[in-house]
């Protein structure tokens, strides 16, 4: 084994990630508190520089980049299908959703969006919604864990395990699937998947009611989250905040409804919004409420997909999910911005092809968490330090997507 070399110097940290606030500029009573990058409540490798006056937060400066893996640079040296596994690794809790967006983008560049078979589209929506459930479960479970409740985390992990096993059965991997391909799918659903998935839907319905009783109506949880981190919808839009955070502020904006991509226009579901049931519209409780309600909506979508997949577009011996997968992908020269609703918000890809190469000349990922995190200093001003933890949790960060 080669030895890992590193030249230690005490100024390295100061030079590579300098603080915004300096100790010498502090007024009496003020403190700089460093949270992270190795802190469980930052949900990954996020470092926060917090300026406090006693226990009251005055400013929060996020320091990013600890999980930067050069996605955009890598994508420029890979062919279009080879980018998909990298897309998986951005938001590793919702890989199916990210793959879906990317595949849709390249299909639009090739002009084959209309030809994708309905069965493929329904399977895509089905697995994406299953993954959305799994992602929301992690968000809710770890959020309750941040607040100090251990049980919800274990319950959520237990239910998420069923989803991961279903997806593992489909694609062979538990978290990073590479299942949705450009123009089709890796494989059709395994035989018997529809029945098992329907069983899962029946299993999960009472569990979500339990979750509501255990977390959402819990007095301690309400006290910790209601009226904390109130986000005004106008400010949210100005900062490019999207997803459950935007809907928690009371704005019913969901790209699944707005764009109606894939087959979402044929599916019946509602957009839950924050109503300020326990405090003010747009507080941490509302954001969590939206996520819990979205789990119910995802179940509705899954049930409808299963019905379609067993009735109208049922399994067929001759059906080949790879029939449309192009051998050589060389889109004509164009720019495209494709967007879709991920569990965290709007995930978009800006892609440019030069028309000659089979590799994209530029791929830029617009990640939802990146924009959602940028608002943290606005909503945590004046909060207590303990509430800052509640606010970070309610944003539902995945640092893989923030840093890319």
17 near another protein, rule: CB under 8 A: yes
Distance, in Å, from the CA atom of 358 to the CA atom of 337, rounded to the nearest integer, reads 18
* CB hemisphere CA count around 196 (13 angstroms): 14
Report the residue from 80, 153, 155, 239 that binds another protein according to the rule CB under 8 A.
239
Going by C-beta distance under 8 Å and a sequence separation of 6 or more, which residues neighbour residue 305?
122, 123, 125, 126, 129, 267
71 near another protein, rule: CB under 8 A: no
User: How many angstroms separate the Cα of 287 from the Cα of each of 93, 234, 254, 282, 403?
Assistant: 18, 16, 14, 7, 23
| Six token digits for residue 335 | 């720019």
Q: Which is nearer to another protein, 32 or 235 (CB)?
A: 235
22 near another protein, rule: CB under 8 A: no
Whether 243 and 342 have beta carbons less than 8 Å apart is answered as: yes
253 near another protein, rule: CB under 8 A: yes
186 near another protein, rule: CB under 8 A: no
Distance, in Å, from the CA atom of 297 to the CA atom of 120, rounded to the nearest integer, reads 21
Of residues 102-131, those binding another protein (CB under 8 A) = 108
137 near another protein, rule: CB under 8 A: no
326 near another protein, rule: CB under 8 A: no
Report the residue from 275, 334, 357, 381 that binds another protein according to the rule CB under 8 A.
334
Report the residue from 26, 33, 70, 386 that binds another protein according to the rule CB under 8 A.
70
Distance, in Å, from the CA atom of 169 to the CA atom of 48, rounded to the nearest integer, reads 39
Q: Characterize 48-68 residue by residue with b for buried, 16 or more Cβ atoms within 10 angstroms of its Cβ, and e for exposed.
A: bbbbbeeeebbebebbbebbe
300 near another protein, rule: CB under 8 A: no
- Coil, strand, or helix at residue 347? strand
Report the residue from 37, 348, 393, 400 that binds another protein according to the rule CB under 8 A.
348
Sign of torsion over alpha carbons 13, 19, 23, 25: positive
Whether 237 and 250 have beta carbons less than 8 Å apart is answered as: no
Q: Which is nearer to another protein, 63 or 162 (CB)?
A: 63
Report the residue from 194, 341, 346, 401 that binds another protein according to the rule CB under 8 A.
346
Of residues 188-207, those binding another protein (CB under 8 A) = none
Report the residue from 93, 163, 215, 251 that binds another protein according to the rule CB under 8 A.
251
386 near another protein, rule: CB under 8 A: no
238 near another protein, rule: CB under 8 A: yes
Which stretches of the chain bind another protein, using CB under 8 A?
A: 1-2, 4-7, 9, 12, 15-18, 64-65, 68, 70, 72-73, 108, 235, 237-240, 251, 253, 258, 334-339, 346, 348, 350, 352, 361-362, 364, 366, 370-371, 374, 403-404
């Amino acid at each position: 084994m080669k030895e890992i070399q590193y030249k230690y110097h005490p100024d390295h940290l100061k030079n590579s990630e300098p603080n915004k606030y300096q100790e010498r500029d502090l007024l009496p009573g003020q403190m700089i508190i460093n949270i992270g990058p190795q802190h469980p409540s930052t949900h990954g490798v996020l470092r926060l520089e917090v300026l406090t006056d006693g226990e009251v937060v005055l400013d929060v400066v996020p320091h990013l980049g600890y999980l930067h893996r050069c996605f955009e640079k890598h994508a420029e040296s890979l062919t279009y299908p080879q980018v998909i596994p990298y897309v998986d690794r951005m938001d590793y809790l919702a890989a199916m959703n990210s793959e879906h967006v990317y595949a849709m983008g390249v299909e639009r560049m090739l002009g084959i969006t209309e030809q994708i078979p309905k069965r493929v589209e329904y399977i895509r929506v089905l697995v994406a919604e299953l993954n959305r459930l799994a992602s929301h479960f992690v968000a809710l479970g770890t959020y309750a864990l941040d607040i100090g409740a251990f049980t919800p985390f274990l319950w959520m992990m237990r239910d998420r395990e069923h989803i991961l096993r279903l997806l593992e059965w489909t694609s062979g991997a538990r978290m990073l699937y590479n299942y949705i391909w450009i123009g089709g799918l890796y494989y059709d659903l395994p035989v018997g998947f529809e029945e098992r998935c329907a069983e899962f839907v029946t299993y999960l319905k009472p569990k979500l009611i339990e979750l509501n009783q255990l977390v959402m109506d819990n007095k301690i949880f309400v006290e910790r989250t209601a009226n904390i981190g109130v986000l005004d919808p106008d400010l949210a839009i100005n900062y490019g905040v999207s997803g459950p955070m935007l809907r928690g502020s009371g704005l019913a904006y969901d790209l699944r409804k707005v764009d109606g991509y894939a087959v979402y226009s044929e599916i019946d579901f509602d957009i839950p919004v924050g109503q300020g049931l326990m405090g003010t519209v747009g507080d941490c409780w509302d954001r969590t409420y939206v996520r819990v309600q979205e789990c119910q909506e995802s179940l509705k979508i899954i049930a409808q997909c299963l019905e379609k997949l067993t009735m109208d577009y049922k399994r067929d011996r001759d059906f080949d999910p790879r029939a449309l997968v192009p051998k050589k992908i060389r889109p004509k020269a164009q720019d495209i911005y494709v967007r879709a609703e991920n569990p965290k918000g709007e995930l978009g890809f800006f892609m440019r092809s030069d028309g000659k190469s089979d590799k994209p000349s530029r791929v830029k990922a617009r990640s939802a968490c990146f924009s959602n995190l940028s608002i943290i200093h606005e909503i945590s001003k004046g909060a207590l330090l303990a509430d800052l933890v509640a606010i970070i949790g309610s944003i539902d960060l995945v640092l893989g997507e923030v840093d890319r």
